[in-house]
Structure 1
Amino acid sequence: MSIFISVVFPVLLVFIIGYGIQKWKKVDIKPISTVAIYVMTPALVFRTFYEAHIDIQYIYMVVFSLILLFSLIIISKVYSRIKNYSTSLESGLILSTAFMNAGNYGAPIILFAYGEAGFAFAVSFLVLQSIIMNFFGVYYAARGMAGIKVAIKAVCLMPATYAVIVALLLKSFDLTFPTNLYRTIDMIAEATIPTVMIILGMQLAQIKWGNFEWDKISYAVVVRLLISPLIAWLITLAMPLDALLAKVLIVSAAMPSAATIVIYAIQFDSRPKLISSVTLISTLISILTITILLSIL
């Protein structure tokens, strides 16, 4: 109970505030999301990579992410074949199970649970997941349409990608960023996490209840909240990971379905109602599952 009160509840409360504001004022989320994506997140990402000590653990993080991704994709492919689902439904299940909400849910949970050291890993994982999501997520959402071309373009248009590159170049050439400009980035970075948390609450408020495909939702929720962290734990056992990083990766793998994927599903008409319902239900159930997982870890 203490973990719920000290870690999960503060995060949940911010989501509830965003949810309440959206229900009350019917705010247009797009301008806020645009600021978060193009200004705030790049500032947070730049600060994290500029200050981080990059070592072999970050390579392990990349390997971990790819193994987890392809494991989850294979599970959904096999399940879809067994059930004789259409390609469209298979893509919908992959989208709702293979991509977790490592940003506006996972990062704040890890910040409260493991402090700044864990948070630095969480932001790095957030960037990596964003790149993976923008490539593979777009590919599966647009499969049979624009596919890989659109996926590559999505990654190239992601501002956080360039924030990482600039930060790593400065570190590589041992260049110091001007202090006065860095203070600006620092201020924006500090506001990023609460802003994206409120945005998630607002996004959840827009998902409509009713006519849920419970059999498919149940499968997706079990894979996302239970099987995914289990696979993550097994991967961490097989890799020489830092103990804190291992915990961060397992908790991140237990996050609910990514809200960003709903946008792709709508854009490419890839079972958007199913994916949005999985996002909503997995987010609600994750309040319990994440509390239990943090207690175990």
Structure 2
Amino acid sequence: MSYFFYILVNNIVPISIMIAIGVAMYRAFKIDIKTLSKLNFYVFSPALVFVKLYESEMNLHVLMQVLLFFVLFFSLLFAVIEIYIRLKKMHRGMRIAMRNSVIFYNSANYALPLNQTVFGGNAYTLSVQIVIMIMQTLIPNTYGIYTLNAHKSSWKATLKTILSLPVIYAIPVALLLRYFHLPVPSPIHIPLDYISNAFMATALLTLGVQLGGMKWEFHFSNVLVSNILRLAVGPLLGFLVVWMLGIEGLTAKALVLSCAVPTSLSSVLLAIEYENEPEFSSQAVFASTLFSMFTIPVVIYFLGFM
């Protein structure tokens, strides 16, 4: 029960307040959603990734084990959602949006504080979550953009779009600086800290602005299925993969918990930036964040049996 109230007070309520402010700002000033989207893609997201990677603690053994888990988990989750969207014969735009709402999950601003709360600030479990965060940052900014542009641009144009994103360079630079123990000059590190700390607020305000401008033709069945696959099937597959790989202890618990978080804001930012089902994507993020208040305590309860 304590986890239920923790998630309510420290995740759901603050997130809802920020989204509500975004809605109010749109209604009052008709804020340009595209400008907010570009700030998230080109400024806030790269800074967050760089800072989190540079400050993380990880070793090669943890990295390889977690990467193997992620590849298997991601493949199984992708297969499940692919079967569903093919059976439903969805049109291309909704197929992409539905897929993104399930395979892209909030591994940073939701999962990091949740990990530290559940495991009492354990540095090892944090390093596990950081690796997941790396992958969940890289894939939307490569595969996610490719799927949205492949039908309307040449592969060269799509590759150029991907390579124009700063987050692609933030990851290797942060890892190299960590590996060689090179300090980031203070005049650079301080603004990066400021910007990374602003990511969550800006992303949630962007979601609120998007929700405020929507016609609210609710995609009930698709949002419901998306949430079930993300919040219920996701952690079940996580349990299955750690069992298949024989992973035990804190590593297994941290990996399963990482699979249980709601849909990532990146799915909304991609939908807005490339004009692909932004209403459904916004509703999927909002609903999954709300319902996670009930599903995550259940997952945490079962972690006690691992």
Q: Which residue of 2 aligns with 1:16?
A: 16
Give the TM-score of the pair, scaled to structure 1. 0.82
Pair 1:268-2:274 in alignment: yes
Are 1:72 and 1:94, in contact at CA under 8 Å, matched by a contact in 2?
A: no
Aligned to 1:123: 130
Following TM superposition, by how much is the alpha carbon of 1:12 offset from its aligned partner in structure 2, in angstroms?
2.7
Contact 2:231–2:260 (Cα < 8 Å) also in 1:
yes
Given the alignment of the two structures, is residue 185 of structure 1 paired with residue 185 of structure 2, yes or no?
Answer: no
Q: Is the partner of 2:102 in helix, strand or coil?
A: helix
Unaligned runs of 5+ in 2: none
In the alignment, is the contact (CA less than 8 A) between 2:53 and 2:175 conserved in 1? no
**RMSD between superposed Cα atoms in Å:** 3.0
Rounded Cα–Cα distance in structure 1 between residues aligned with 2:94 and 2:101: 11
Secondary structure of 2:287's counterpart equals helix
Structure 2 residue corresponding to 1:63, chosen from 68, 79, 84: 68
Task: Map 1:273-292 to 2 at 5 A.
Answer: 273-292=279-298
Report what 1:77 is aligned to. 82
What aligned pairs does 1:1-297 form with structure 2 within 5 A after superposition?
1-26=1-26, 29-30=36-37, 33=40, 34-48=42-56, 52-114=57-119, 115-117=121-123, 118-146=125-153, 149=156, 152-153=159-160, 156-170=163-177, 172=179, 174-177=180-183, 181=185, 185=189, 189=193, 192=196, 195-206=198-209, 207=211, 208=214, 210-241=216-247, 243-297=249-303
C-alpha distance in 2, partners of 1:99/1:81? 19
TM-score scaled to structure 2, two decimals? 0.80
Tell me, what secondary structure is at the counterpart of 2:139? helix
Shift of 1:209: 6.8
**Does the CA contact (< 8 Å) of 1:232 and 1:249 recur in 2?**
yes
* Cα distance in structure 2, aligned partners of 1:240 and 1:153: 41
Shift of 1:289: 0.8
Q: Any idea what SS the aligned residue of 1:104 has?
A: coil
Aligned residues: 290
Contact 1:47-1:186 within 8 A present in 2 as well: no
Equivalent pair of 1:44/1:185 in contact (CA under 8 Å): no
Which secondary structure state, in structure 2, belongs to the residue aligned with residue 177 of structure 1?
Answer: coil
Identity of aligned residues (%): 21
Amino acid at match of 2:281: I
